Each structure stands twice: as structure tokens, then as C-alpha cells.
Amino acid sequence: MVKGRKVTGGKYHKFSKKKKHALSGNVRKVKLSETKQKTLRGMGGDKRKVLLSANTVNVMDPKTKKAKNVKIANVLETPANRFLARQNILVKSAIIETELGKARITNRPSQEGMVQAVLTDEK
């Protein structure tokens, strides 16, 4: 058998290159510091805002069903990766310390223009 040929003699064709729309984007890590946003252009000219850093969070209190915008003091723990908590990086399901108490981030801050969280019962 000749290399690059099928048993029947036909050629194997190479897989096509990745198109620009199929390439992966840059990984954004939302740091805990003064709030900074960036506007990205999507397909069809669609625009979306993404966070680069944030210091405030919209905290929902499950008992009163009220939301309040408060400052973030610290990132306590991140179940996905403990090193992210040490660097004060905000990701989904991270436990943060706020003025109202401990809260858990419920959205993906790197893909949305804000940080949402729910108060936890832990004291």
C-alpha cells in the first residue's frame, strides 16, 4: 500500500483548517478590583459587554426576595480551582465575602457584564 492512499487506490483528503468563527477566543479572568468592562463584536455585528474586573455584586437575599448592589470584600473559596480564590478571580460558584455576608456567584462574570450572587446561610 502507498502512503496517503486507500486500499482501492483513492486518495485520503486532509481535514480542512479551522475557520475564523470556529477558533477559540481568549480566556478572560475577572479580577477583584475597580470595575472595568469591554465591548466585543460578535457575529452579524452583535455587541456584548464583558467584564475584565469588578468590585460590586448584585446580591439576592432568598428570605426577603430582594436584591442589593454591594461591594465585594474578598474571594473566600472557589470549588473549581483553589488557586483562583488565592488570586481573587471571580468565577461561577465562587464563595465571596460581601458587606451583607457570604454569597455564592450564580452567573458567569467573564461572559456577562455583571456579577450576580445569592446569600448563603453560612455565618
pLDDT band at 123, cuts 50/70/90?
low
Whose CA is closest to 58, among 113, 114, 123, 122? 114
The residue with cell 452579524 is: 44
How far, in Å, CA of 11 to CA of 77, rounded? 54
Name all contacts of 117-122 with Cβ < 8 Å and 24+ positions apart.
Answer: 117/57, 117/58, 117/59, 117/60, 118/59, 118/60, 118/62, 119/59, 119/60, 119/61, 119/62, 120/95
- The per-residue pLDDT for range 97-121, each reduced to its tens digit, is 999 999 999 999 999 999 999 999 8
Residue located via cell numbers 481568549: 26
Predicted confidence band of residue 122 (pLDDT cuts 50, 70, 90): low
Q: What is the pLDDT of residue 30?
A: 95
- Is the domain spanning 26-119 CATH 3.10.290.70? The answer is yes
Mean pLDDT of the chain: 91
pLDDT tens-place string over residues 57-72? 999 999 999 999 999 9
Q: What is the mean pLDDT of residues 8-21?
A: 86
For residue 28, pLDDT beyond 80: yes
SS3 of 3, please?
coil
Q: For residue 84, is pLDDT > 70?
A: yes
